[in-house]
Chains A and B, each alone.
Chain A
Amino acid sequence: MRRLSIRLNGPWTGPLTAAVGMLLVFTLITGVVYPLAVTGVAQVAFNDQANGSLLERDGEVVGSRWMGQPFTSVEYFHSRPSAVEYDGSASGGHNLGPTNPVLLDEIDRLAGEYRQVNGLAADADVPVDAVTASASGLDPHISVANAVLQADRVAVERGVPVDEVLRLVDEHTSGRTLGFLGERGVNVLELNLTLDGLSSRS
């Protein structure tokens, strides 16, 4: 009987065995050891941040410092429009081009609504962040200009002096880091939580 001979040293066998070995080794190093090491250090050194910077109220998780929430009632500062309605299990923007009539109609409608809710004149300028959706759909911030325009409404609805509300807005405004990095923004969730804290104390 003739024995079948299988060539095990063709041009492909060397590279393929090395490839399988390399992939396994690097899966172990970069796919297991590395993320576990990072997680280990992170959970010790930056426990709060690594777990999502969660905010609690009365012992219950009310949200994350970095994830925006939708606000509809008049006594709260309102977040930016969101293409995903601040759904934390999704994220996304409109992805409509700058001349798309669907987008422009939506912006027009939102601007009218914003003027009405905040008691502005029919031809008043509306801050751009108040009528445009963010990239993530989870933007935690609004611009200072947007917050200032909402402050009167919030103060009246809550029976708090406007100066006090504006002071809180200022308190929750993140400045430019080192004076030049990024833009100033107001963290809406933290601001509203502080406002709720005021009324529960009085």
Chain B
Amino acid sequence: MSGAGWVQFVVLIIVLLVTAPLLGRYIARVYGDEKKAPGDRVFLPVERLIYRICRVDPEREQRWTRYALSLIGFSLVSFLALFGLQRLQGSLPLNPVELPSVAPNVAFNVAVSFTTNTNWQAYGGESTMSHLTQMGGLAVQNFVSAAVGMAVMAALIRGLARRRASTLGNFWVDLTRGTVRILLPLSFLVALVLISQGVIQNFNGHTVATTVEGARQLIPGGPGASQIAIKQLGTNGGGFFDMNSAHPFENSTVVSNFVETWAILIIPFAMAFAFGRMVGDRRQGRAVFGIMLAVWGAMSIGAMLTESGGNPRLDDLGVSQTITEDQSGGYLEGKEVRFGPAASGLWAASTTGTSNGSVNSMHDSATPLGGGLAMAHMMFGEVSPGGVGVGLNGLLIMAILAVFIAGLMVGRTPEYLGKKIQAAEMKLVMLYVLAMPAVLLTFAAISAVYGNALGSLNNDGPHGLSEILYGFASAANNNGSAFAGLDSSTTWYTTTQGIAMLVGRFLLIIPVLALAGSMVRKERVPASPGTMPTHTPLFGGLVVGVVVIVAGLTFFPALALGPIVEHLSL
């Protein structure tokens, strides 16, 4: 990898180390139990108005069942509205290039995809969705589905922080505050920075250009930047254009690329610090941050190195992939010159470690190990640093699993943050851990033998299996990135991936809320000499081990048949 590639990576880490604690402190105030929070003078009147319109009593706290019911109700209404909007867009306004209404199976898939914060795209943005659908449907879900994830995190943290209580907060309040106080202001700033770099923001249709050689080129228009800012910050990832953040109008310069990479990572990393503050022990937050950073960093370095290393098959064809001052080198198929292999690899690891799923290079075209790392990073359950909110949830689940395993080894009742982990909690943890692999592997296995599904493949052999595995890893983890050669607009894929996304969202969120509901009742026992500290590097290593071993035992056989065998055949 080039020296500049390394510098870029280190600078990103430094920027995260500075900004994540600051944002984390702010987030802790937004969701915390204190009465006052920064910006109350601006935000409170808006929020009070929203509560009045929606007839929500912000003072009324909810038990976990009511909290979950509110969340499911909101997601259901969102799904129905988004489905309807797509089916009717042909006869609705703000449709300058007169796109028809979306086919039912695709509309189902998209509605699930955007309400579950997956943003898997079984369609090309510029050729399928009207400006109205993009703005009034997809962009809205970019905000609220992210705010839902953050709300669940807030509920889980309250479950751990409160003692002998019964309620976890109010879902409607968390939804509102997360959107109004965190996502909207940040998105506004990021959108303006992106526009200054050349990302478009207008309400035009296509501009017709006559190229230098006299051909006709259509230059697309649309409110891109406002949607791209929230797609990164909310770990959504659904592109305004088909080719997502590789498209020059989504990500025009290296500066926009750096800002978007930061935007993907910042909220999930900041959540670790918010967690530490909310449970009243900042060391715990730093430990969680350290775990996230270590796994993300290792995967990033791996992806940057493999892509910079090039594709040995091209050496035989007299193609130079050497890194020099005059060329980025590396394997540039499916990559943009301005980003090169290092920034493409860094993005690939960042978008799969979170639940983002936007891409600035084609993962389907990556080297076998580069594509395999991205896949494995999702299979870790997206905990490094994970989606906004849900990533921290996943990591806390892994931490609870780690204290349980450690407890078994030394024969003590495991406890986390002073709360005893008992059979009821472990059952919920196991449900969480098993749901994603079960749906992923089952559907992938059927798709690997079902003729109709095989017709969607763009590649033969192990790479074809990788396309299937990646697709379901992405859906079941609510990621949304793809080995895009796979034609996922067929009825088989729109349906099965829709189900995988629903399982990956709700069969994970509901156990987390149930766990929070069970933990919130417990007393916090004071630490004794026998208590295992959960803020030490030793514990961090244990959690990383649990993450890697659980994913390894589950997915290694499948990965061996896909990316690993393909790498060996290079």
Q: Which residues of chain A have a CB within 8 Å of any CB of chain B?
A: 11-12, 14-23, 25-27, 29-32, 34-35, 37-39, 41-43, 45-46, 49-54, 57, 60-73, 76, 80, 86-100, 103-104, 107-108, 111, 123-129, 131-146, 148, 174, 176-177, 179-185, 189, 192-193, 196
17 A-B pairs besides A89-B127, A180-B8 with CB distance below 8 A are: A18-B54, A22-B172, A35-B226, A50-B200, A54-B209, A66-B252, A69-B215, A73-B213, A91-B242, A93-B334, A95-B362, A99-B570, A125-B318, A127-B320, A144-B326, A177-B253, A185-B337
> Which residue in B195, B257, B329, B361 is a CB contact (below 8 Å) of A46?
B195
> Which residue in A46, A88, A97, A126 is a CB contact (below 8 Å) of B319?
A126
Chain A nearest CB from B131 CB (Å) reads: 9
Which residues on B sit within 8 Å (CB–CB) of A49? 195-200
Q: Is the CB of A25 within 8 A of B247?
A: no
Report how far A68 CA is from B10 CA in the complex, Å: 31
> Which residue in A23, A68, A139 is a CB contact (below 8 Å) of B81?
A23
Q: Is the CB of A63 within 8 A of B217?
A: yes
Report how far A140 CA is from B337 CA in the complex, Å: 8
Report how far A30 CA is from B339 CA in the complex, Å: 31
Q: Is the CB of A65 within 8 A of B198?
A: yes
> Which residue in A22, A54, A129 is a CB contact (below 8 Å) of B337?
A129
Q: Is the CB of B320 within 8 A of A125?
A: yes
Which residues on B sit within 8 Å (CB–CB) of A97? 364-365, 368, 459, 463, 466, 485, 566
Which residues on B sit within 8 Å (CB–CB) of A18? 54-56, 70, 73-74, 172
Q: Is the CB of B136 within 8 A of A32?
A: yes
Number of interface residues of B (CB under 8 A): 131
> Which residue in B217, B325, B366 is a CB contact (below 8 Å) of A69?
B217
Given contacts A103-B333, A126-B318, A128-B332, contact A145 B220 (CB under 8 A): no
Report how far A89 CA is from B366 CA in the complex, Å: 25
Report how far A125 CA is from B74 CA in the complex, Å: 58
Which residues on B sit within 8 Å (CB–CB) of A26? 140, 143-144, 179
Given contacts A25-B50, A91-B241, contact A126 B220 (CB under 8 A): no
B490 at the interface (CB under 8 A from A): no
Q: Is the CB of A22 within 8 A of B175?
A: yes
Q: Is the CB of B332 within 8 A of A176?
A: no
Q: Is the CB of B209 within 8 A of A181?
A: no
Would you mind naming 15 contact pairs between A and B with Cβ atoms under 8 Å apart? Answer: A18-B56, A19-B76, A34-B139, A39-B203, A42-B192, A91-B242, A95-B483, A128-B332, A134-B336, A136-B336, A138-B247, A181-B8, A182-B343, A183-B4, A183-B343
Chain A nearest CB from B31 CB (Å) reads: 17
Residue of A nearest to B183 (CB): A30
Q: Is the CB of A192 within 8 A of B333?
A: no
Q: Is the CB of A98 within 8 A of B53?
A: no
Residue of A nearest to B230 (CB): A30
Which residues on B sit within 8 Å (CB–CB) of A103? 333
Chain A nearest CB from B239 CB (Å) reads: 9
> Which residue in A27, A92, A141, A180 is a CB contact (below 8 Å) of B336?
A141
Given contacts A95-B364, A135-B335, contact A52 B484 (CB under 8 A): no
Chain A nearest CB from B316 CB (Å) reads: 9
Given contacts A37-B188, A38-B188, A135-B336, contact A54 B258 (CB under 8 A): no
Chain A nearest CB from B469 CB (Å) reads: 13
B91 at the interface (CB under 8 A from A): no
Report how far A144 CA is from B179 CA in the complex, Å: 44
> Which residue in B50, B248, B458 is a CB contact (below 8 Å) of A138?
B248
Chain A nearest CB from B107 CB (Å) reads: 17
Best-buried of A16, A18, A71, A143 by chain B (most CB within 10 Å): A18
Report how far A137 CA is from B241 CA in the complex, Å: 12
B202 at the interface (CB under 8 A from A): yes
Q: Is the CB of A128 within 8 A of B321?
A: yes
Given contacts A17-B55, A19-B73, A123-B318, contact A61 B209 (CB under 8 A): yes
B7 at the interface (CB under 8 A from A): yes
Chain A nearest CB from B281 CB (Å) reads: 33
Given contacts A20-B77, A97-B463, contact A27 B136 (CB under 8 A): yes
> Which residue in A39, A57, A60, A98 is a CB contact (below 8 Å) of B333?
A98
Given contacts A11-B69, A23-B74, A90-B127, contact A38 B201 (CB under 8 A): yes
Q: Is the CB of B483 within 8 A of A39?
A: no
B561 at the interface (CB under 8 A from A): no
B126 at the interface (CB under 8 A from A): yes
B353 at the interface (CB under 8 A from A): no
Q: Is the CB of A90 within 8 A of B7?
A: no
Q: Is the CB of B207 within 8 A of A54?
A: yes
Chain B nearest CB from A97 CB (Å) reads: 3
Best-buried of A99, A179, A183 by chain B (most CB within 10 Å): A183
Q: Is the CB of B333 within 8 A of A132?
A: yes
Best-buried of B229, B324, B329, B335 by chain A (most CB within 10 Å): B335
Q: Is the CB of B187 within 8 A of A34?
A: yes
Which residues on B sit within 8 Å (CB–CB) of A135? 243, 246, 334-336, 359-362, 365
Given contacts A12-B69, A15-B69, A45-B192, contact A145 B327 (CB under 8 A): yes
> Which residue in B255, B313, B367 is a CB contact (below 8 Å) of A181?
B255
B211 at the interface (CB under 8 A from A): yes
Residue of B nearest to A107 (CB): B317
Q: Is the CB of B69 within 8 A of A35?
A: no
Q: Is the CB of A189 within 8 A of B334?
A: no
> Which residue in B127, B223, B334 is a CB contact (below 8 Å) of A95?
B334
B493 at the interface (CB under 8 A from A): no
